[in-house]
Amino acid sequence: MSDSKSLIDIVKHEQGHFDAENILFLDLNSRNLTDANSLSICRNLIILNLNNNNLTNVRGFGTLTQLQKLSLAQNQINSLDGLQSCENLEILNVAGNNLTGLKSLAPLLYLTHLRSLCLNDRQNNLTNPLCNSSSYQKDVKNNLPNLDTLDNEWLGQGFQEHLSSLESAIEQLETLNGNSKPMTNEKPTIIITQATSSDRSIHIANEEYDELFQSIQMLVK
């Protein structure tokens, strides 16, 4: 499934409409996608799951400046060029791709809010060629000193900081709901599934996630 119309049709089929401005959370896990460039019109996306597809690049993500959590595990991505514009990105999972060296991570140097990066998910046996180097973790830490977790292992900062993306999402939803000049008459669209045993891209306590998701769902009812 490679053309952009098909990707939009997926959302229309599941939601009955495609309101690009109101889509904040999008789960397109396991959809056999080969390109996601049409998502560039979803400028208010906060959380995006594209795990287990056939993507080879992320060039269409330059407009997703509000994105805070991005899951791209188990694709065929060989370059992260395009992510440098995702200036609010805090959590990134790219385990199980074709990233071959530190140079392929260069766009991440521009992401000053990035706190969690997964390149090698040992639990699900998802890795990248660059992880074959015995020094890759040290090299990544040296180049991305603001990271709190690498490959689901704590590097230093406290747990609560890793909930900031979802807490910010709740604040943005509250703003949308209380906005005297709403963007549309539609409620914000949520298409999202919680992590299962085969998709543990972020190892954060389930109870904390459940509480935040319940808060989000209550806000958009």
Give the model's confidence band at 142: pLDDT under 50 very low, under 70 low, under 90 confident, else very high.
Answer: very high
CB-CB contact of 69 with 192 (8 Å): no
Burial of 147 (0-12, 13-18, 19+ CB in 10 A): middle
Name the token pair of 43.
């400028």
pLDDT at 195 over 90: no
Q: What is the pLDDT of residue 116?
A: 97
Tally the C-alpha atoms within 13 A of residue 45's C-alpha that lie toward its C-beta: 28
Mean pLDDT of 56-71: 95
Mean pLDDT of 163-189: 57
The DSSP bridge pattern shows strands 91-93 and 116-118 to be parallel
Token look-up 């065929």 returns: 76
Mean pLDDT of 29-40: 91
Percent of the chain clearing pLDDT 90 (strictly above): 54
Task: Kindly report, residue by residue over 107-124, the tens digit of the pLDDT.
Answer: 999 999 999 999 999 999
Q: What is the pLDDT of residue 200?
A: 39
Looking at this protein, which amino acid is placed at residue 142?
Answer: N
List the alpha helices (DSSP H) in 93-163.
Answer: 136-143
Domains, the chain? 4-219 (3.80.10.10)
pLDDT at 141 over 70: yes
Q: What is the pLDDT of residue 189?
A: 43
Report the DSSP beta bridge partners of residue 150: 117, 153
Phi, psi of 151 (to 5 degrees): 55, 40
